[in-house]
Structures are given as C-alpha cells and as structure tokens.
Chain A
C-alpha cells in the first residue's frame, strides 16, 4: 500500500515536472558583454523570462568578441550551437558568408508573424548587418558610433570650441598644446580613423560595393590619397605634439584622457557610461569630425555602426526559432531599448526608442548621450552603409600593426598602406576560396 502510494506520488511528480518543462521553450544566448554590460544583459534576460511563461532564455558570457565567435563556430561544428550568438562588426562577414549558418532575422520575425519593418530601425544601423538586397540578417544589438569626447576644462583654458571638422582641429591644436594638453588621442585606429573616416567622408572602402556583392574579387581601396592624407596628418600632428599614440590597446589610450592630460579623445558612444564613473574632470562630446575639404558644403555623412549584432543560428527546431523570434521582439521594444541605452550608452536601435528617450527629456540632462545617435542619423551617402569583408579581424590586425609601425617611426605612410592593401587583398582572395 505504502509502496503503491509512493509510486503514484513519484509518477505524479515526474509527470508534473515534464509538463512544466514542456510548457517553457528553453533557448540559449551566447554573448560577449562582460562586467557591467553583462549584468545589464542578465537583467534583460531575467525581465524577459518574468514577462511571460512560454520561453526561458539563458544568457551565457563567452569572453571577448573574438572568443565568442570562435566558441559559436566550434559549437556549430559539433552540433551544439546556441539559439542566439552575438557577433561583432568585424566578424559579420564570417557568419553571413557561411551560407546556412544563420537564419536571417527578417525571415525569422516575419515567419513568426511579427510585424517587421526595416524602416523602424534608425538609419545608421539598418543595413550594416543586411545582405546586398537589403534583407536584415543580424539583429543590431549593442550599436555604437565613434565620437569625440572633450575635456571641458582644457577647452576653456585654451579658449576654444570643440572642432566639427579636422580643419578646425588643426586651427585649435596649437592653443591646446600651449594650454598644456595633448590635443588629440584615439582608441581604435582601424574603426575610428579608417572605416569611419571613409564613412564620414563618404569614400569607397572596397570594390564589389564595399564587399556586399560577394566575396569573389573584393579588393581593398585603402591605398588611396584621402586616407593616406589623414594618416600623413596624424603623423605630422604627432611630431608637432598635437597627437599621441599609446599603443593598440583601447584602455591605454583612454586612461590619459580620464586623467585629464588630454583635450580630445575619440572613443565610442558606448564609452559614455564608463567615462561618467572614471573621468576626473567634466567632459562633453561632439560627433567625429570629417574633412570639409572632402565633403564640401554639405557637411559630414553618417558613420558605420560599431558594436555587435545578434544572429539566430540555424539547425534549431521551429519551436525554438519561434521562441528566439519572441525574444527579438521583446528586445527591440522601445522600453527595453531605452533601458539598454540609458544603462550602457549604446544607441537605441529603433526610432520609437529614440523618440521615447527624447520625449522623456533624457538628452536635456545628458546631451553627450545623444551624440552617437545623431551621428548615425546624419545624411547617408553611397558608401555609408557599411562594409562586408571576410577575414576582416586579421585585416584590422594588419592595419593596427602598420599604424603602430608608422607612429613608432618604423615605416612610412606610403609603405604602410602598400602593406595593408597587398596583405589585406591576399586575405580577401583566400576568404573567397573558403566559401566555394
């Protein structure tokens, strides 16, 4: 009798357990957001899980962007890929180029019956992770723009305004130096002074429509005058004491700005949250300058987005894909985007979220937080949509290496761009062979 009761109880418990398990579809989300950002990611996941009881998402931190991508690839090959993988800008070509690795997010959302309209997304983020026909493949997540932060005290002391063009910078740099400051420092030469130099000035980056039309025969167009002029200027400014380079590491260049030794620092709009805590002086921000001599009367163009996107990986059941779609819908809702924007400094990706932030008066208190999104919403040009190149992580590494050699006097501008172009094109040629 006792035994039978026990058996019945066990069966009931088992049935009850499996019923509750099947009620919730469990999905996994691998991301590269460490520290404070990781906590915000966990918060979004927890809020989503609490908001409904059909889907349970588990975020897993996988290290740096590069490590996360590699982990996702290894898992995919072993058949254990997560439902959602966060992939950064430079890795986008690798996932999108591998036909069948991911489900285009636009198909996923439309298939799940969500109303998807690409026009709902702000102009600068719309097409970066899209295919050449304009279909959105990856869902932009943490989107940032390179912007220029200024040390308010330094500008006041020198009696100047923050520059909007590099010509204006040249005019004020001697005054900043005289006031005892290093005029300019930056944190990511490939992103801020190569990719976005081309975008802000509306210049072509690579053949094949910046690489969007296919990997075969895509070639870099960096060994050309406008870009070489920018780096000739940078190395001249360095000689005159207007510009300083503290190595390839992001933080090594940010530190002197936080310490108040530097007047202008080109960082990320996503740096805002961290700077508020670490900066020892008041600061503001302006968009990344461009060259008036290149863009003419109309002013600067918009920049490419930096940061990363969320990709829905293929090979999952329809049920799980529907759950992923549900999460994407939640994540792009104005409330979640607004919270993400305010917590981290990354830009909101939809117009609705941007409007919500404006109407709330958020930018009246913190005008610096709006600079990135304003820059992404500036006028678009033929070459401002983005770029799509394979093995791009290594191409960036080549740029960093050559720029480092340039600023330590080991190479010249001509030789550096010669090397970037020839080694970069060799990598692109090799990448084109991987897909066939």
Chain B
C-alpha cells in the first residue's frame, strides 16, 4: 500500500509560531535561567555571584523545614484532590437524578463557579478568623478550640477546607455534564440487569465517567500543587510563621520575599522534576485504566 505523503510546507509551522514563541519566552527561557542560577549564589542586585555547584541543592534537601513543607504538600495535595473530587461527584450524582433536562436550573447550580477565587479565598479567611470567624464559633460549641494561624494543624485544616470548597464547583460542572452525556439506553439496560443503585453506579456509570474523572484528577492535582498559592498567601497574611505552606509557596518566600535567588531556583528545579515525574505517572499508569467510549 502506498503511504500518503504530504508535501512539506512552512504553513503549519507559521501557525504554530505564536504558540512556540509564547512557550519559549514564558517557559523555556525562565526555566533555563532557573537551572543556571540554581548553581550560583547571587547577590540580588546582580553585582556578584559565586558558582557553588550543587551546594544549593544540598542545602535545600538537608533542611528539616524543607522536608516538613514537602510532607505537608503531599498530604495537602492528596486530601484536597480527594475531597474536592469525592464531594463534587456525590453532588453531581444527586443533582443528575433530579436534573435531567432541566437546563436553566442546571445553569443556576453552576453560578458558584463565577465567583473569583481570591474573593472566595477571602470569604474562607473571614469564616475562619480566630477573633470573629463564625466557623471558629461553631467549632467551640463542640469543644474544639479552633485556632487558625496559631495551631499548625488547625491552620492546615482551614486551608484544606477552603481549597476543597473553592474547587468543588469546577469539578461538579464536569462530573454533571459527564453524567448527563451517558446515553439513556445504557442506563435503562443497566437498570434491568441490576437492582442495586450503588452497584449500578460502580459497574456501569463510573467506568463511563472515567475519561472525565481522569481529566479531573490531573486538573485537581495541579490545582492543589500550584493554584492554591493565592489562598495560602491570603491565609498566612504575609507572615509564614509556623503556618503550613506548600512547596510552591516556599519557592516564592525564599526567592521573592527573602531574595535568595540560588536557593529558590534550586527548589523550583526540584519542583519541575517532581511535576515531570508526576505527569509521566499519570499518563502511563492511570490513563491505561481510562475507558474511552
């Protein structure tokens, strides 16, 4: 059989050029600069710099606080992604049961999505404020002295709750539209075969939902790792103190607050490597189990 060959033309590259330029200027160039400066200790004003080899990496990895931040980041990411997905899935399934066809009502349910994340973050902070926060007052009814900004674990709790709450709306929309795109015929066939709604969900509905779920897992892990930056910044009130922070926020603290360019660059290179590995894992191992219809 003859292979179809297309003549080489510059046109597709021309179409790609703006995108490539943007990626080069805003990603490859800074990333390359981060790798370079991670081997130096540099005066912030750029007057002097000393090549220190791998010292920045050694200093970062041997730092007890960095390990504490890394462990918190793992817990934070797992818990935020899990609860944001699980709660959204439950809500979407329940909404799907009553919403078939009611399009305008469905749109109303998505309004929450329109709230800007910083506004939602500020709301969360006010609810958890140690002096006037209503959630703190509610916790005290149950004998829980919730002290956000004082106690490490209480602050972590407040951050996770707020981060989950912010993300549920997005996940809900995707799950709901995923559920509503499952053909009626498949559902009816399943209903004849199996009486248990719970089993029907896990054996029929959920596998058909896996493309959406996989996409959302990737999005939520990215969200918890990176997009919660603003929330953490708001909740720590510009004073990290003994509050929990994530790895990305630590890069910012050391680089932009402390002007330690070398140490901060080493941390961002480590983070790049972590994200690289994570992406491979997600696509090689998890995506295999995704059922694309």
Contacts and interface: CB of A to CB of B under 8 A. Distances in A.
Interface of A: 64, 66, 69-70, 73, 76-77, 94-95, 97-101, 245-252, 255-256, 259, 391, 393-394, 397-398, 400-405, 407-408, 410, 419, 423, 426-427, 430, 433-436
B147 to A, nearest CB: 8
B29 to A, nearest CB: 15
Contact of B241 (A76, A251, A404): A404
Interface in B17-52: 41-50, 52
Interface of A is mostly: helix
Query: Which 7 A-B pairs give the minimum distances between C-beta atoms?
Result: A404-B242, A248-B241, A247-B149, A98-B45, A394-B258, A248-B239, A433-B41
Contact of B258 (A249, A397, A403): A397
Residue of B44, B65, B131, B151 contacting most chain A CB atoms (<10 Å): B44
A243 to B, nearest CB: 13
B41 A430 contact: yes
Interface residues of B, number: 38
Given A66-B257, A98-B47, A249 B239 contact: yes
A435 B131 contact: no
Contact of B150 (A246, A251, A394): A246
Contacts of A248: 149, 237, 239-243
Contacts of B204: none
B79 interface: no
Contacts of B150: 245-247, 404, 407-408
Contacts of B130: 246-247, 252
A400 B240 contact: yes
Nearest to A244: B150
B226 interface: no
A434 B263 CA distance: 11
B152 to A, nearest CB: 7
Nearest to A77: B46
Contact of A100 (B47, B151, B152, B263): B47
5 contacts: A70-B259, A73-B44, A393-B257, A394-B258, A408-B242
B227 interface: no
Contact of B45 (A64, A76, A247): A76
B247 to A, nearest CB: 16
Contact of A430 (B59, B65, B237): B59
Given A99-B48, A251-B237, A408-B242, 9 more contacts: A70-B259, A98-B47, A248-B149, A248-B240, A400-B240, A401-B242, A404-B241, A427-B260, A434-B262
A90 to B, nearest CB: 10
A94 B151 CA distance: 32
Contacts of A251: 237
Interface string B125-145: 000001100000000000000
B253 interface: yes
Interface of B: 41-50, 52, 59, 63-65, 130-131, 147, 149-152, 237-243, 253-254, 256-260, 262-263
A101 B47 contact: yes
Nearest to A72: B45
A21 B260 CA distance: 40
Contacts of A70: 256-257, 259
B253 A98 contact: no
Contacts of B259: 69-70, 73, 94, 391, 393
B242 A391 contact: no
Nearest to A400: B241
B50 A436 contact: yes
A246 B44 contact: no
A312 to B, nearest CB: 14
Nearest to B56: A430
Interface centre among A69, A397, A423 (most CB of B within 10 A): A397
B260 A252 contact: no
Nearest to A251: B237
A255 B131 contact: yes
Contacts of A410: 152, 242
| Residue in A69, A405, A435, A436 whose Cβ sees the most chain B Cβ within 10 Å | A435
A314 to B, nearest CB: 10
B241 A423 contact: no
Nearest to B64: A419
B49 to A, nearest CB: 7
Nearest to B63: A423
Contacts of B48: 99, 434-436
A97 B43 contact: yes
A66 to B, nearest CB: 5
A246 B260 contact: no
